[in-house]
Chain A
Amino acid sequence: MVIQLKNRLEELRNQRGIKQEELADALEVSRQTISSLEHGRYNPSILLAFRIARYFDLTIEDIFLYEE
């Protein structure tokens, strides 16, 4: 069974016209982390996932998709 965690981070960011640097600065993480998250190379901690969700005013499930 392959478990994948996909996310809509890039889509949401582009919808709101936010740059990676701006998002990284607001979430207090590096720009590389945002890039890795968007490309699915890194799964965030639950704390970061909450911070991202609060930033976009959405729930974690709205942003991160758990797929089996």
Chain B
Amino acid sequence: MKKLAYLAIGGSIIGVALILMGIWMGYCDVAIFAFPNPQSAPWGFALLGTLIVLLSVAPYFDQNSQTRKQRIEQQDERNLFHFYKSCCYAYSCLMGVGVLTLLFLTMLGYMNIVSFFTLVTIFVFSFMIQVVVRIYLNHNA
């Protein structure tokens, strides 16, 4: 519970700082870094800040609104095992769609070499992590 509170406070501070930075960059027309597209940088900062605030605050309120029975159900080790396993399968489906989208965009000429290989590297690394998680789950069931 305390960990989630710290996460919520820390995330909110970082998120609000990013939102304020975005607003400041947008209104005062300040370029802190040399962004290739300076017009969208304030929006990027504000969006990132909003996402960080939401992602850090949501688990805290979720935990606070749970009854004891719900908490036990959620933290039950057998349920967690099924949850992680289903996450792995869902991730495989998501990655299949992602790879097809990547292929489609490449064939239409919307991808350059840097973005293509960056995404391919991310896919390969995340796939390897997912395989490791699956093996771990299979050996610890």
A and B co-occur in one complex: yes
Listed in ascending order, the chain A residues whose CB lies under 8 Å from chain B are 24-25, 28-30, 32-33, 36, 42-45, 47-48
Total A-B contacts with CB atoms under 8 angstroms apart: 28
Q: How large is the interface on B (under 10, 10 to 19, 20 to 34, 35 or more residues)?
A: under 10
In the complex, B107 has a CB within 8 A of chain A: no
Q: Is the Cβ of A30 less than 8 Å from the Cβ of B141?
A: no
Q: Is the Cβ of B72 less than 8 Å from the Cβ of A45?
A: no
Identify the stretch in B15-23, B53-61, B73-81, B125-133 within 8 Å (CB) of chain A at 4 or more residues.
B73-81
Chain A residues within an 8 Å CB radius of B76: 29-30, 32-33
The docked-state distance in angstroms from the alpha carbon of A24 to that of B69 is 10
Q: Is the Cβ of B78 less than 8 Å from the Cβ of A28?
A: no
B80 nearest CB neighbor, chain A only: A45
